């Protein structure tokens, strides 16, 4: 039976606004009592009673008092030892989506043990699992098999994760079932430009098996690009130039990918829509109507498999002398196997390749764990923090480092609750399932609860693989950038006397060789690639995604293990502590701030940059319509200016509130308190709902699920962010009629957002 979602079924209704004038019935009774008592009391007694009357009035709408410093207390709670224990538990075995309910129950019970209500919420998406695989190189004339790929990763002595009997073979989530044969063609990274370069060189991939390497592009788009060119199947291998021995010592001697290792992952066409392929735009509940799989537009239709570079090497050698040398086709077409004497040629090969990818598709229950800490004063407003729990393997960095941090955030919040802390706003902690298939658990929940999310969610804070290295990295909506800077200044960087912010600042300035005092660390725009996708791109919720990143070669392999993490990345769990502190501090600040720490002016500044980037694309276009482009850019810049003006307007309102009342509305007097509360509520609502105003209900052309007009995953970028996506794609396709209409609509949407900021 499907679990019922606790946080939404029990969500408090929006609190009624207090009246601007007049007394409650309670106040009226108190006043009458005072009149009766006045005749019998001396002046001192009257004064005492009147004071009590004021106390009764204040109790009706009690002035806010400064709470204890929850943020400072929180920063001292996270424990490296507990984080180590959490990571050990989550990496104790392979936990693929749909078959990891035990960890869902553990996570739910952990939340509950901290005094936080929690429930499991199930959905029923369509998932695939591996049954049989084969990659063989053979002579079509004699049927002699010359090479058969192992398609398994070696066991590493001393690392139990590498010998787990439940480890998956070579496999792609949402790959097509198939058994195909054809000549081999090497297509570099498998990008649109790579396929164009092959075509220009006279090399066709039609009816071929295409070999591409990982890197530069989301794997699902590599398969899609090959399918569009008529290929029969795709093999994606991990070249040592990307994350293997070319980069340094390989596991277990170093952190990089060893020769037998391959990268699992989803090949869903996530730039069309994420989540369950059969329920686009609505939740995959147990009894939901479902598309016929042939009509699902976010999955590919040719089989694919990942390969290690050990398995790819014989295939590349079989191409030697056939077709053209890869270096003649394009720059950066040669990988790192040259050190082993491999020459990179395009083919097609004389020998044939058989690719078998037998998978079983079935509707499977997945488990999101949703926990709730009710807010005290504005419980209808909510901050959501999320991390996914499922992994292709043990998943120490991705996602268990984030899962370990989530449990420690929950424990730390539980300690604060014991000390009397009550957050102003509701906090939701979400442990998602099936992210690896591509954000399935979060997408289904977001689609299911879309109305509540649009109305009430202030922000979404995502931590996926929290610790992969030692360099902090943030992506976020522009309005949250100053908050990120403030929080990272409060958290100590591991093995340093400096803050995370200071180390971040120094590293980026060193790389960019600039010493401008005004320079601040880069916070990039959000594209896609994790569970924030539904919140930002579909529903318009301001979001953050962050991690300690760095070079490694164990991504989505059996070697992303507890041993790898403790040997090469975070042996003392100080980076886990720091990422936990950052996550919790962001949450507490957003949950407790009387006025939300959103800086709308940052959005206005970035919007001008987005338009500048669009202008550059237009200028470089070979099919430019100058008249349409000039008028459109003028419209967009004018709209951006209005947004900037409105940003200054709401900042002035915030300053007025602070000067006249104080953000906590901590004055005596019912009327002034009510006026202050109303003003503050209005400011907050407009601040967090600005993101909603950038949502176009019609969606982006050709991919209606994505609705944010300012940012989305690029159509051919995958995870990468594309600013002003609909307009950019129209320019790239030379469709100036569409561009003109979209420029008008986008300008109107930005203008609407600007006016919404000013409508108190």
d(CA 561, CA 120): 26
Query: Are 453 and 446 contacting, i.e. CB atoms less than 8 angstroms apart?
Result: yes
For residue 302, give the DSSP letter: S
For residue 478, give the DSSP letter: G
pLDDT at position 12 is 33
Burial 502-520 (b: 16+ CB within 10 A, else e): bbbbeebbeeeeeeeeeeb
Average pLDDT of span 382-406: 98
Is the pLDDT confidence value at 15 over 70? no
**Percentages helix, strand, coil for the chain, rounded to the nearest 5?**
40, 15, 40
How does the average pLDDT of the chain come out, rounded?
90
Is the pLDDT confidence value at 450 over 80? yes
- Identify the bridge partners of residue 384 per DSSP, sorted by sequence position: 428, 460
**β-strands 178-186, 209-213: how paired?**
parallel
**β-strands 471-476, 352-363: how paired?**
unpaired
Is the pLDDT confidence value at 141 over 50? yes
Average pLDDT of span 602-627: 93
Is the pLDDT confidence value at 572 over 70? yes
**Per residue in 305-314, pLDDT tens?**
999 999 999 9
pLDDT at position 261 is 98
Sheet containing 178-186: order of strands: 145-148, 126-138, 352-363, 178-186, 209-213, 233-237, 304-307
Retrieve residue 519's tokens: 């320079």
pLDDT at position 241 is 97
pLDDT at position 42 is 34
Model confidence band, residue 377 (pLDDT cutoffs 50, 70, 90): confident
For residue 34, give the DSSP letter: H
Pure H helices in 661-698:
670-693
d(CA 638, CA 744): 12
Average pLDDT of span 489-497: 97
pLDDT at position 511 is 73
**β-strands 126-138, 145-148: how paired?**
antiparallel
Where does residue 486 rank: exposed (0-12), middle (13-18), buried (19+ CB within 10 A)?
Answer: middle
Q: Within 10 Å of residue 303's Cβ, how many Cβ atoms?
A: 25
**Per residue in 42-53, pLDDT tens?**
333 333 333 332
d(CA 224, CA 758): 45
Is there a cis peptide before residue 752, judged by omega within 30 degrees of 0?
Answer: no
The residue behind tokens 């078998």 is 356
d(CA 103, CA 86): 11
Look at residue 258 and give its three-state secondary structure. Answer: coil
Greater confidence, 554 or 37?
Answer: 554
d(CA 424, CA 681): 12
The residue behind tokens 């998956």 is 168
- Closest to 558 (Cα-Cα) out of 128, 252, 203: 252
Mention every residue, 6+ apart, whose C-beta is less than 8 A from residue 73: 416, 419, 421
Instruction: Count CA within 13 A, CB hemisphere, residue 704.
Output: 6
Q: Within 10 Å of residue 112's Cβ, how many Cβ atoms?
A: 15
d(CA 260, CA 659): 65
pLDDT at position 551 is 80
Retrieve residue 673's tokens: 């308190």
Retrieve residue 729's tokens: 């794609």
Greater confidence, 671 or 640?
Answer: 640
**Per residue in 680-729, pLDDT tens?**
999 999 999 999 999 999 999 999 999 999 999 988 888 889 999 999 99
Class of domain 600-758: mainly alpha
d(CA 614, CA 617): 5
Pure H helices in 471-535:
481-488, 500-512, 533
Is the pLDDT confidence value at 22 over 50? no
d(CA 446, CA 456): 13
pLDDT at position 67 is 61
Distance of CA 184 to the CA centre of its chain: 36
Is the pLDDT confidence value at 60 over 60? no
Query: Are 201 and 167 contacting, i.e. CB atoms less than 8 angstroms apart?
Result: no
Burial 654-679 (b: 16+ CB within 10 A, else e): beebeeebeebbeeeebeebbbbbeb
d(CA 651, CA 683): 9
pLDDT at position 68 is 74
d(CA 324, CA 590): 57
Q: Indicate if the alpha-carbon torsion angle 410, 414, 419, 421 is positive or negative.
A: positive
Is the pLDDT confidence value at 181 over 60? yes
* CATH number attached to the domain at 126-363: 3.50.30.30
- Identify the bridge partners of residue 460 per DSSP, sorted by sequence position: 384, 543
pLDDT at position 760 is 60
Model confidence band, residue 64 (pLDDT cutoffs 50, 70, 90): low
Where does residue 66 rank: exposed (0-12), middle (13-18), buried (19+ CB within 10 A)?
Answer: exposed
pLDDT at position 66 is 53
Q: Within 10 Å of residue 80's Cβ, how many Cβ atoms?
A: 17
* CATH number attached to the domain at 70-124+369-592: 3.40.630.10
Q: What DSSP string runs through 147-204?
A: EE---SPPP-TT-GGGG-TT---S-EETPPPEEEEEEEEE-TT--HHHHHHHHHTT--
For residue 479, give the DSSP letter: G
Mention every residue, 6+ apart, whose C-beta is less than 8 A from residue 393: 94, 161, 164, 167, 168, 264, 556, 557, 558, 560, 561
Average pLDDT of span 134-162: 97
Delimit the domains of the chain by residue range.
Answer: 25-60, 70-124+369-592, 126-363, 600-758
- Closest to 169 (Cα-Cα) out of 184, 150, 155, 187: 150
pTM: 0.90
Retrieve residue 622's tokens: 């070979």
**Per residue in 65-103, pLDDT tens?**
556 799 999 999 999 999 999 999 999 999 999 998 999
pLDDT at position 509 is 86
What's the alpha-carbon Rg for the chain, to the nearest Å? 29
Pure H helices in 569-625:
574-592, 600-620
pLDDT at position 2 is 33
Model confidence band, residue 20 (pLDDT cutoffs 50, 70, 90): very low
pLDDT at position 54 is 27
Element (DSSP H or E) covering residue 357:
strand 352-363
**β-strands 233-237, 209-213: how paired?**
parallel
d(CA 326, CA 344): 5
Query: Are 633 and 611 contacting, i.e. CB atoms less than 8 angstroms apart?
Result: yes
Q: What DSSP string runs through 573-585?
A: -HHHHHHHHHHHH
d(CA 225, CA 218): 11
Model confidence band, residue 112 (pLDDT cutoffs 50, 70, 90): very high
**Per residue in 265-302, pLDDT tens?**
999 999 999 999 999 999 999 999 999 999 999 999 99
Retrieve residue 217's tokens: 């592009």
For residue 705, give the DSSP letter: T
Greatest Cα-to-Cα distance within the chain, rounded to the nearest angstrom: 117
d(CA 391, CA 441): 13
d(CA 730, CA 745): 13
Is the pLDDT confidence value at 21 over 80? no
**Per residue in 191-247, pLDDT tens?**
999 999 999 999 999 999 999 999 999 999 999 999 999 999 999 999 999 999 999
d(CA 107, CA 101): 10
pLDDT at position 61 is 39
Average pLDDT of span 568-578: 98
CA distances from 686 to 385, 488, 591, 755, 756 (A): 21, 26, 16, 10, 7
Percent of the chain residues topping a pLDDT of 70 = 90
**Ramachandran region of residue 35, left (φ > 0), alpha (ψ -120 to 50) or beta?**
alpha
Mention every residue, 6+ apart, whose C-beta is less than 8 A from residue 43: none
Is the pLDDT confidence value at 395 over 60? yes
- Closest to 518 (Cα-Cα) out of 526, 527, 509: 509
**Per residue in 512-569, pLDDT tens?**
655 555 589 999 999 999 999 999 999 999 999 999 999 889 999 999 999 999 999 9
Is the pLDDT confidence value at 34 over 50? no
Q: How many helices (H) and strands (E) does the chain have?
A: 24, 19
């Amino acid at each position: 039976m499907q679990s019922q979602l606790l946080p939404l079924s029990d969500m408090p209704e929006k609190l009624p606004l207090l009246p601007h004038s007049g007394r409650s019935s309670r106040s009226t009774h108190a006043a009458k009592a005072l009149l009766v008592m006045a005749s019998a009391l001396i002046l001192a007694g009257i004064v005492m009673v009147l004071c009590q009357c004021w106390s009764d009035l204040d109790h009706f709408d009690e002035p806010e008092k400064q709470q204890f410093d929850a943020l400072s207390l929180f920063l001292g709670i996270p424990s490296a030892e507990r984080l180590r224990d959490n990571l050990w538990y989550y990496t104790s075995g392979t936990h693929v989506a749909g078959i990891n309910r035990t960890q869902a129950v553990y996570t739910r019970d952990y939340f509950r043990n901290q005094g936080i209500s929690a429930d499991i919420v199930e959905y029923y998406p369509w998932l695939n699992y591996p049954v049989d695989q084969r990659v063989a190189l053979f002579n079509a004339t004699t049927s002699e098999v010359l090479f058969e790929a192992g398609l398994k990763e070696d066991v590493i002595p001393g690392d139990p994760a590498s010998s787990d009997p439940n480890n998956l073979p070579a496999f792609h989530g949402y790959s097509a079932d198939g058994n195909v044969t054809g000549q081999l063609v090497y297509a570099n990274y498998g990008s649109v430009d790579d396929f164009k370069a092959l075509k220009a060189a006279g090399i066709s991939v039609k009816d071929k098996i295409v070999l591409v390497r990982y890197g530069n592009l989301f794997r699902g788009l590599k398969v899609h690009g090959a399918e569009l060119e008529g290929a029969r199947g795709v093999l994606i291998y991990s070249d040592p130039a990307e994350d293997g021995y070319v980069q340094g010592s390989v596991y277990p001697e170093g952190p990089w990918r060893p020769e037998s290792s391959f990268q699992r992952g989803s090949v869903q066409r996530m730039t069309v829509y994420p989540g369950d392929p059969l329920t686009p735009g609505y939740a995959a509940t147990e009894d939901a109507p479902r598309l016929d799989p042939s009509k699902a537009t976010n999955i590919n239709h040719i089989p694919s498999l990942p390969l290690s570079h050990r398995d790819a090497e014989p295939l590349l050698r079989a191409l030697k002398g056939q077709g053209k040398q890869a270096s003649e086709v394009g720059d950066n077409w040669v990988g790192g196997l040259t050190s082993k004497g491999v020459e990179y040629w395009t083919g097609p090969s004389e020998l044939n390749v058989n690719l078998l990818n037998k998978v079983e598709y079935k509707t499977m229950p997945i488990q999101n764990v949703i926990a709730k800490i009710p807010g005290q004063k504005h419980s209808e407003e909510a901050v959501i923090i999320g991390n996914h729990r499922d992994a292709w393997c043990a998943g120490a960095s991705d996602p268990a480092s984030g899962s370990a941090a989530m449990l420690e955030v929950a424990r730390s919040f539980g300690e604060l609750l014991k000390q009397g802390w009550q957050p102003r706003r509701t906090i939701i902690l979400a442990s998602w399932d099936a992210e690896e298939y591509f954000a399935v658990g979060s997408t289904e929940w977001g689609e299911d609860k879309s109305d509540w999310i649009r109305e009430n969610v202030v922000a979404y804070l995502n931590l996926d693989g929290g610790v992969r290295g030692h360099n902090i990295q943030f992506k976020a909506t522009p309005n949250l950038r100053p908050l990120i800077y403030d929080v990272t200044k409060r958290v100590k960087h591991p093995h340093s006397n400096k803050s995370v912010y200071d180390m971040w600042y120094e590293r980026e300035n060193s790389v960019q060789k600039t010493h401008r005092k005004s320079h601040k660390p880069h916070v990039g725009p959000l594209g896609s690639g994790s569970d924030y996708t539904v919140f930002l791109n579909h529903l318009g919720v301001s979001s953050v995604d962050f991690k300690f990143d760095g070079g490694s070669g164990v991504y989505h392999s059996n070697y992303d293990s507890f041993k790898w993490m403790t040997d090469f990345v975070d042996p003392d769990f100080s980076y886990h502590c720091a990422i936990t502190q950052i996550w919790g501090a962001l949450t507490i600040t957003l949950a407790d701030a009387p006025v939300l720490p959103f800086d709308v002016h940052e959005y206005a500044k970035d919007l001008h940059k987005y338009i500048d980037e669009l202008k550059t694309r237009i200028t470089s276009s070979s099919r430019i319509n100058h008249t349409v482009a000039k008028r459109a850019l003028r419209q967009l810049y004018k709209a951006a200016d209005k947004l900037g003006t409105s940003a200054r307007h709401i900042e002035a309102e915030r300053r007025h509130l602070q000067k006249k009342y104080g953000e906590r509305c901590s004055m005596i007097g019912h009327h002034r308190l009510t006026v202050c509360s109303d003003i503050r509520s209005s400011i907050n609502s407009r601040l967090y709902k600005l993101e909603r105003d950038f949502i176009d209900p019609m969606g982006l052309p050709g991919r209606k699920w994505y609705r944010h007009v300012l940012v989305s995953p690029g159509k051919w970028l995958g995870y990468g962010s594309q600013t002003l996506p609909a307009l950019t794609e129209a320019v790239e396709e030379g469709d100036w009629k569409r561009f003109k209409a979209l420029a008008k609509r986008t300008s109107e949407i930005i203008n609407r957002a600007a006016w919404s900021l000013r409508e108190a």
